[in-house]
């Protein structure tokens, strides 16, 4: 999808991008091979040719951060397919609604089929977290832009997070999916282990408190809960990306699709 993106060009918005797709200009290469484009002067076409040739070079070199700064955050879903193998799915647990009245207790990271749980006072350090994040090109969260990322930056001021950032919460809203992560999971058919159903962020706070009072089982349950939050982002991201492509990508110029539950049960 990234190489079908034209909205980073100056003067090009979603309407023009969609019209170009309808006219068969489905990616940068197809644009570059056309000697002229309806509505563009020769000078403007040459300018866009130079911009897209440079974009293709940056893309081929893997310099995707260049596009992250040129695209609005609402368009960062477009990186998903390109970055799927170098994506980190992240979810945190805390003791408060903001870093002013709480602390990060657990950071869950899922990458290439493996989940890592970093625990405050044990494995959660700025260096360890940075080492995990440095291996990835795309960050995927659910409402991370409003919670996880600001919380982590307040806790670890020098932390460098991957750019771009595909926030599933806001993408889901564009698809008409409302509510929190657990509600949307149910809407699209993503299942949880029965032992974890019904747990929420407040339970995570209580479990951390119980662990500090010596209850090892409480920490085990907290880590399982966080792992579910983190791992369930994987099928949800695939689902959301597919629907975004259908509605807002090049395929949207054809017949529209409807939301179809994916009914995915993740083994625990």
Confidence at residue 268, expressed as pLDDT on a 0 to 100 scale? 36
* Residues pairing with 88 in the sheet: 139
How far is the C-alpha of 8 from the C-alpha of 54, rounded, in Å?
A: 12
How far is the C-alpha of 268 from the C-alpha of 266, rounded, in Å?
A: 6
Residue carrying the six token digits 């017949």? 255
* Cα end-to-end distance, the chain, whole Å: 32
Backbone torsion region of residue 164, taken as left when φ is above 0, otherwise alpha when ψ lies between -120 and 50, otherwise beta:
beta
Q: Please give the CATH number for the structural domain made up of 81-241.
A: 3.30.420.10
Six token digits for residue 245: 């492509």
Q: DSSP 3-state assignment of 46?
A: helix
Helix (H) or strand (E) holding 101: none
**Share of residues in the chain with pLDDT > 70 (%):** 94
Q: What is the mean pLDDT of residues 130-137?
A: 96
Is the model's pLDDT at 87 over the cut of 50? yes
Cβ–Cβ < 8 Å for 115, 226? no
Query: What's the alpha-carbon Rg for the chain, to the nearest Å?
Result: 21
Q: How do residues 220-242 score in pLDDT, each as one tens digit?
A: 999 999 999 999 999 999 999 99
Confidence at residue 265, expressed as pLDDT on a 0 to 100 scale? 47
Domain-wise residue ranges, the chain:
1-63, 81-241
**pTM of this prediction exceeds 0.85:** yes
Confidence at residue 252, expressed as pLDDT on a 0 to 100 scale? 79
């Amino acid at each position: 999808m990234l190489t079908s993106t034209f909205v980073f060009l100056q003067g090009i918005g979603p309407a023009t991008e969609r019209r170009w797709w309808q006219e068969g200009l489905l990616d940068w290469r197809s644009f570059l091979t056309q000697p002229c484009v309806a509505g563009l002067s020769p000078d403007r076409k040459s300018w866009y040719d130079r911009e897209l040739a440079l974009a293709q070079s940056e893309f081929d070199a893997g310099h995707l951060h260049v596009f992250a700064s040129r695209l609005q955050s609402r368009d960062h879903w477009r990186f998903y397919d390109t970055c799927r193998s170098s994506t980190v799915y992240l979810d945190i647990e805390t003791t408060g609604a903001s870093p002013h009245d709480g602390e990060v207790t657990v950071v869950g990271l899922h990458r290439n089929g493996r989940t890592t749980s970093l625990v405050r006072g044990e494995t959660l350090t700025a260096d360890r977290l940075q080492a995990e994040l440095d291996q990835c090109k795309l960050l995927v969260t659910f409402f991370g832009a409003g919670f996880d990322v600001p919380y982590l930056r307040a806790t670890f001021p020098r932390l460098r997070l991957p750019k771009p950032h595909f926030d599933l919460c806001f993408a889901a809203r564009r698809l008409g999916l409302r509510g929190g992560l657990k509600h949307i999971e149910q809407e699209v058919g993503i299942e949880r282990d029965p032992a974890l159903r019904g747990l929420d962020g407040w339970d995570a706070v209580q479990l951390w408190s119980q662990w500090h009072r010596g209850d090892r089982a409480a920490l085990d349950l907290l880590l399982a809960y966080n792992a579910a939050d983190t791992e369930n982002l994987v099928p949800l991201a695939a689902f959301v990306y597919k629907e975004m492509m259908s509605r807002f990508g090049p395929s949207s110029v054809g017949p529209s699709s409807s939301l179809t539950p994916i009914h995915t049960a993740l083994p625990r």
